[in-house]
Structure 1
Amino acid sequence: MGPRSIDSRNVESAVRTAIDAAVTGSPRVPGVVAGVTTDKATLTLAAAGVRAIDGTDPMTTDTVFAMFSATKAITATVALQLVERGLLDLDAPAKEYAPRLRDIQVLDGFADDGSLRLRPPASDVTMRQLLTHTAGFGYDFFNQDYRRLTRDHGVPAVISATIESISTPLLFDPGTRWEYGSSMDWAGRVIEGVTGHRLGDVMSEHLFSPLGMSDTSFDLTDDLARRRAVLHHRAPDDSLSPNHKWKMPDDPEVQMGGQGLYSTVRDYIAFIRMWLNDGLSDSGEQILRPETIVEAGRNQIGDLTVTKLPGVIPALSHDVDFFPGVPKSWGLSFLINDEDAPTGRPAGSLSWAGLANLYYWIDRRTKIGGFWATQIFPFVDPTAYDAYLDFETVVYRAID
């Protein structure tokens, strides 16, 4: 059950204080947009700062962000819709839907000459394993072996959004470990194989349109580009450098289900609200069945452990360990904190993030969720991440 009543004015005031502090402190973030919603309505949507540290265009509530891994939950939602329609079996070999997976092997280390030692996997990758990061795929910025693939063997980085960039060997036999990586990009390929349509078109018809997410797309249209926040990099001395030229690849070979969307906080909290509201859109359309929502929020990896992610490429990410000491599991496809978090987030809540310091949570017990958006590398930037934790904490204090 959620709280008996929530005074939106308390939440709005608390969030305004938090985001203003984030853009005026030292060090600071250039700009931020933050939103909070219940299962029924947006409580607050607020912006502070600027879109680029060297400019004057203000952050606004319709600012567009590269979502990076906040894309993953959206891809998972479309996959679950296909399961409900009887078109997708989570436990069938995923190669039935994405034939390129037939060629994927397991990396058994490197020979003395640096060549790859490869072997067939002990079992086929399933869609459930793709959704739970237990298939065996990794990322080069979190795994040293994958880093060797991109650095020494010419494998393109996943940001290139090519088939070759995700056709990497597995790090282990499917289902035997948890390793965060490019599984959700393959999940997107499975969705395309099932439907016969590009991932973005499936999302648009079955998710974005009924949820009113009109600013969410794999394509950076002129309208979205005019409102886009600039990606920044924070140096070790805490200085910030804008990269005005960076954007996702235009017309990518692969519409990356793990990282490729642009969106706004306004759109994303409509998505969060659907998860809080047992799968219902604001207009009453059933996007997912209530029982699917419940199942997606359950631990899907059994006794496997969600591990700390080492920052292998420091320019892209610090080490990642959300709420150290709090046991965590993985659903379809969210991180689950299995005990209460220090921010006030109760056990069983869903969450994840995007590489440029975007963070969200979905608390179905209290019926509240939020999204915090910046555009800063590396991931888990102490200034941006601590400001997000402050944001989440003040929200829970405001509704207590």
Structure 2
Amino acid sequence: MATFEEQAASAVANDVVAGVVVIAKDKDGKLDYSKSFSRKNGTVYNEDTVLALASMSKLMTSVAGLQVVEKGLITLDEDVTPLLPSLAKQEILTGFADDGTPITRKRQNPITLRQLLTHSAGLGYPFMHEEVAKFVAWKKLPPNAGTVDEAFDAVLLYEPGEGYLYSSSIDRVGQVIEKVTGQNLEDYMRQNLWGPLGMDSTTFFAAKYPNIQARRVPTAIRRDPKGPIIESSDEPWYTAGVKEPFGGQGIFSSPADYMKLLYSLLVDDEKVLKKETAALMFQPQLSPKAKESLLEKMKKPDWLIGKYTPTNEYDWGVGGILVDGDKHEFRREGYLNWGGAANPFWFIDRAAGVCGVFGIQLLPIFDPPTEDLIAAFEKEVYQKAGKL
């Protein structure tokens, strides 16, 4: 079987992808791997390439959410709705009348920070969940909303704490952070996360920083599932028109910067979180009902970037999906990962002592050739680290 590097080089040479950059490290300092692949006479990808991270933003915002808990500004299990009036008023959707009018009922449970951090607060995404999309269409919400309140002024889909749906809840975590600290999320991140880790290529607003904007790569698009990619600088991104930080989807960063966060969490150096707080990220956080809901969705994991074997050993930690058993081929218990809309991907496996980031900028999401490359990269990291 071809190695990851052979597969990546072939994919780039044959216009299957426009470029790829990967970085991996191990806890013992024996593995320090970095490799970039770019098309001949094409866009150059390297460690300092700036990517629109989309949902890979969620890890940073989740870490920041745990920081404000550490600071004693809020607890994981208190009701956050007094801080978020726009979320507090949302009711639970129970159906639609014959004329398309939504039928809702008031929620009974509070909404907690833990639920927001674990996508178990009742929220959904209109592009992923038909009921939310139908509600959004009925309410005529603007397609390019400038604020979190405008973008996600929708409806709950289940009683908070009693289900799981991947959602906009991390954008709400960003709002909680702003409320309890009195700081804009960009300023808070720069002071408490990016600054301490030396992440100087990271921001919610790339256009404001010429040095960052100049290193962004165009979005590659595969319009024909079996055809070549086309790069387009004109392709609108999710953050087009935003007026404030969206903690769940708005960050721009480089693979080198992102690795600084992954490595800090891997070696537990306490640069951004105390050891006892960081440990929560790698522990199951879902309620029994919420976990049952997640496991039902894991029977068909086509909503996830990467490969997931049917072990029934999944939960949600803080920041990503969590492996909570030992039946996987090489992922250990406590393994955490997530990705983003343009198919970038990260993972941390503290038990195996490895972490990695896969950088790419290609749509549509869940691109099969890219998923094959991610799987090959991840396995090769374990091999290089001697963990297979």
- TM-score over 0.5 for the alignment? yes
For 2:8, give the aligned amino acid.
Answer: I
Match of 1:37 in 2: 25
Query: Structure 1 residues 309, 356: CA separation in 2 closer, same or farther (over 3 Å shift)?
Result: farther
State how far apart, in whole Å, the 2-side matches of 1:253 and 1:110 are: 32
Which secondary structure does the structure 2 equivalent of 1:203 belong to? helix
For 2:254, give the aligned amino acid.
Answer: T
Whether 1:116 and 2:102 are equivalent positions in the alignment is: yes
Match of 1:198 in 2: 184
Query: Structure 1 residues 391, 18: CA separation in 2 closer, same or farther (over 3 Å shift)?
Result: farther
Q: Which sits farther off after the overlay, 28-37 or 244-253?
A: 244-253
Aligned match of 2:244 in 249, 254, 257? 254
Query: Structure 1 residues 153, 341: CA separation in 2 closer, same or farther (over 3 Å shift)?
Result: farther
Match of 2:225 in 1: 236
CA contact (8 A) 1:137 1:169 kept: yes
Which secondary structure does the structure 2 equivalent of 1:94 belong to? coil
Which secondary structure does the structure 1 equivalent of 2:81 belong to? helix
Aligned match of 1:264 in 254, 257, 261? 254
Query: Structure 1 residues 323, 157: CA separation in 2 closer, same or farther (over 3 Å shift)?
Result: farther
Aligned match of 2:373 in 387, 390, 394? 387
Q: C-alpha offsets along residues 269-313 of structure 1, whole Å, 9 cap, x if unaligned?
A: 100011111143xxxxx32111111122110113223253899xx
State how far apart, in whole Å, the 2-side matches of 1:66 and 1:310 are: 29
Match of 1:225 in 2: 213
CA contact (8 A) 1:142 1:309 kept: no
Whether 1:308 and 2:297 are equivalent positions in the alignment is: yes
Match of 1:376 in 2: 362
Q: TM-score, normalised by structure 2?
A: 0.89
Aligned match of 1:149 in 111, 120, 135? 135
State how far apart, in whole Å, the 1-side matches of 2:72 and 2:119 are: 23
CA contact (8 A) 1:136 1:170 kept: yes
State how far apart, in whole Å, the 2-side matches of 1:320 and 1:289 are: 29
Q: How much has 1:18 moved relative to structure 2? A: 4.9
Query: Structure 1 residues 240, 308: CA separation in 2 closer, same or farther (over 3 Å shift)?
Result: farther
Aligned match of 1:166 in 152, 156, 163? 152
State how far apart, in whole Å, the 1-side matches of 2:237 and 2:302 are: 22
Q: C-alpha offsets along residues 146-172 of structure 1, whole Å, 9 cap, x if unaligned?
A: 222344542245775542111211111
For 1:184, give the aligned amino acid.
Answer: I
Whether 1:19 and 2:8 are equivalent positions in the alignment is: yes
Match of 2:276 in 1: 291
Which secondary structure does the structure 2 equivalent of 1:186 belong to? helix
What's the RMSD between the two structures over aligned residues? 2.6
For 1:191, give the aligned amino acid.
Answer: I
Which secondary structure does the structure 2 equivalent of 1:76 belong to? helix
Aligned match of 1:131 in 117, 139, 148? 117
CA contact (8 A) 1:166 1:186 kept: no
Query: Structure 1 residues 326, 138: CA separation in 2 closer, same or farther (over 3 Å shift)?
Result: same
CA contact (8 A) 2:76 2:112 kept: yes
For 1:224, give the aligned amino acid.
Answer: I
Q: How much has 1:109 moved relative to structure 2? A: 1.5
State how far apart, in whole Å, the 2-side matches of 1:256 and 1:331 are: 21
For 1:260, give the aligned amino acid.
Answer: G
Q: How much has 1:61 moved relative to structure 2? A: 1.7
Which secondary structure does the structure 1 equivalent of 2:48 belong to? coil
How many residues align structurally?
A: 374
CA contact (8 A) 1:110 1:117 kept: yes
Match of 1:8 in 2: none
For 1:290, give the aligned amino acid.
Answer: K
Match of 1:212 in 2: 198
Q: C-alpha offsets along residues 188-231 of structure 1, whole Å, 9 cap, x if unaligned?
A: 00000001111111010000001010001001122222111211
Which secondary structure does the structure 2 equivalent of 1:293 belong to? helix
Whether 1:69 and 2:58 are equivalent positions in the alignment is: no
Query: Structure 1 residues 105, 158: CA separation in 2 closer, same or farther (over 3 Å shift)?
Result: farther
State how far apart, in whole Å, the 1-side matches of 2:47 and 2:145 are: 26
Ranges in structure 2 where 5+ consecutive residues have no aligned partner? none
Match of 1:397 in 2: 383
Which secondary structure does the structure 1 equivalent of 2:297 belong to? coil
Query: Structure 1 residues 74, 181: CA separation in 2 closer, same or farther (over 3 Å shift)?
Result: same
CA contact (8 A) 2:54 2:238 kept: no
Q: How much has 1:319 moved relative to structure 2? A: 4.2
Whether 1:182 and 2:171 are equivalent positions in the alignment is: no
Query: Structure 1 residues 201, 310: CA separation in 2 closer, same or farther (over 3 Å shift)?
Result: farther
The percent of aligned pairs where both chains have the same amino acid is 30
Match of 1:9 in 2: none
Q: TM-score, normalised by structure 1?
A: 0.86
State how far apart, in whole Å, the 1-side matches of 2:269 and 2:108 are: 36
Match of 1:323 in 2: 308
CA contact (8 A) 1:106 1:171 kept: yes
Match of 1:5 in 2: none
Aligned match of 1:94 in 80, 91, 100? 80
State how far apart, in whole Å, the 1-side matches of 2:249 and 2:278 are: 22
